[in-house]
Amino acid sequence: MIEEINNCIKALQQGNLILYPTDTVWGIGCDASNPEAVKKVYQLKKREDSKALICLVANQAMLERHVSEVPEVAYDLIDLAEKPITIVFDQPKGVAKNLIAEDNTLAIRVASDKFCQYLINKFGKPIVSTSANISGMPTPKQFKEISPEILKGVDYVVNLPDENKNPSPSSIIKLSNDGQVKVIRE
């Protein structure tokens, strides 16, 4: 696993795209603070850059460094969630501008699997995580379902087995600083 993490970090530092297993489904990732790398993700997915992407952070401390104000309820949601939960926060900071939605929000998930936590911790910055598919196509549940176009379009593919036996996308909840809570995806 150490070798895979080091290979990923090298790719991320060069502004390249990685294909990696996350706590949900296989993801396309890049340095969330590099606008050129983020642009490559949108191009590979054939996705409008007005549709925001998700960011992964290693822990709550990293979350706090990239959101102006973390609502208190967010900590409860993260701690109590039974499956991975992505939260849309107001006023993100320290990430590429083209990653931030038009309403100045960003979807962030605190990674819950060891590989992602080690990788993001060692990299020291959030990493983009978007499902490994062309926009509008079904989300691949297993590595073998990832299209050749995606496999060829990334710069590095993590060589780890599918460990997630029942992968599904995370829940997405929007927490506004004014106290509003909205479920976007269950």
pLDDT by position in tens, the chain (length 186):
899 999 999 999 999 999 999 998 999 999 999 999 999 999 999 988 777 799 999 999 999 999 999 999 999 999 998 889 999 999 999 999 999 999 999 999 999 999 999 999 999 999 999 999 999 999 998 899 999 999 999 999 999 877 766 788 888 999 988 888 898 888
Closest CA to 111 of 32, 39, 40, 21: 21
Under 8 Å CB-to-CB from 82, ≥6 apart: which residues?
A: none
Rounded to a whole number of angstroms, the distance between the first and last alpha carbons of the chain is 31
Under 8 Å CB-to-CB from 129, ≥6 apart: which residues?
A: 22, 27, 28, 29, 53, 54, 55, 56, 109
Closest CA to 36 of 87, 83, 99: 99
pTM: 0.93
CB 91 within 8 A of CB 177: yes
Instruction: Say which DSSP state 144 is in.
Output: G
CA 134 – CA 111 distance, rounded (Å)? 23
